[in-house]
């Protein structure tokens, strides 16, 4: 009887370890996806501890770069804060031994989506947090009576590739095909014909 109980405890331990490991992998992937990606227009504060001359507030230029003393131009756009920090640390070590570097986003100015076409208030909208297609259409004042409710398209550019995603308003508003009500990303353009 003790032998069977020991096997049961061993099996339970193995299952628990697998569950914890799976949770840790999933949780780290979620954290990685949740990290803010720097974009053109954002304002960053970069400082090196105990060196006032190397403390700067810099804007990410339209080409995605920033300029920092001693190292010149550095690509910041499409990097996380941690990636940019490691990049700057690697470059500045030639001039500052053992730098204690801080990189922070002061102003987020690159998180926009666009809603154009037959909506009551077309334009550019700030993407504060997660916004799905229905929420974006609401931000744009809703559809006009002349809109093609089932011909809506979302244009997305990501990693050098362009995609067109379809959105059927009538279906989604009735609770059908909810997978079309995607979370929007920086730069998405919703076109309502």
Q: How far apart are CA 38 and CA 111, in angstroms?
A: 9
Rounded to 5°, the CA angle 162-87-53 comes to 125
105 burial via Cβ count (<10 Å: 0-12, 13-18, 19+) = middle
Nearest to 83 by CA among 34, 150, 37, 151: 37
**Whole-number pLDDT of residue 4:** 53
Q: Do 123 and 74 form a contact (C-beta atoms < 8 A)?
A: no
* C-beta of residue 152 within 8 angstroms of C-beta of residue 138: no
Walk me through the domains of the chain, giving residue ranges and CATH numbers: 43-107 (3.30.1950.10), 112-192 (3.10.560.10)
What gap in Å lies between CA 44 and CA 80, rounded to an integer?
Answer: 12
The dihedral through the CA atoms of 180, 186, 192, 193 has a sign that is negative
Query: Where residue 1 falls among pLDDT bands split at 50, 70, 90?
Result: low
Single pTM value for the model: 0.68
**Average pLDDT taken over every residue of the chain:** 85
Listed residue (81, 180, 104) closest to 137, CA to CA: 180
Pairwise CA distance, residues 78 & 84, whole Å: 9
Check pLDDT > 60 for residue 44: yes
pLDDT per position as a tens digit, 63-100: 999 999 999 999 999 999 999 999 999 999 999 988 99
User: What is the C-alpha to C-alpha distance for residues 84 and 87, in angstroms, rounded to an integer?
Assistant: 5
SS3 69: coil
Structure confidence by residue, pLDDT tens digits, 127-168: 878 899 999 999 999 999 999 999 999 999 987 899 999 999
Taking alpha carbons only, the member of 110, 120, 117, 128 closest to residue 183 is 128
The whole-number pLDDT of residue 27 equals 37
Degrees to nearest 5, angle at CA 27 with 25 and 28: 65
């Amino acid at each position: 009887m003790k032998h069977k109980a020991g096997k049961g405890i061993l099996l339970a331990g193995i299952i628990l370890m697998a569950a914890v490991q799976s949770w840790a992998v999933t949780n780290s992937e979620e954290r990685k996806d949740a990290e803010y990606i720097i974009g053109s227009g954002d304002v960053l504060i970069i400082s090196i501890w105990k060196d006032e001359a190397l403390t700067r507030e810099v804007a990410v230029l339209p080409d995605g770069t920033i300029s920092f003393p001693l190292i010149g131009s550095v690509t910041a756009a499409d990097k996380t804060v941690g990636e940019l920090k490691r990049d700057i640390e690697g470059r500045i070590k030639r001039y500052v031994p053992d730098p204690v570097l801080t990189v922070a986003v002061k102003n987020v100015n690159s998180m926009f989506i666009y809603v154009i076409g037959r909506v009551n208030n077309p334009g550019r909208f700030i993407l504060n947090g997660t916004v799905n297609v229905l929420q974006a259409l609401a931000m744009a004042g809703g559809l006009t009576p002349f809109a093609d409710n089932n011909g809506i398209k979302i244009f997305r550019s990501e990693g050098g590739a362009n995609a067109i995603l379809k959105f059927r308003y009538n279906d989604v508003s009735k609770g059908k095909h909810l997978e079309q009500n995607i979370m929007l990303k920086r730069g998405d353009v919703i076109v309502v014909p």
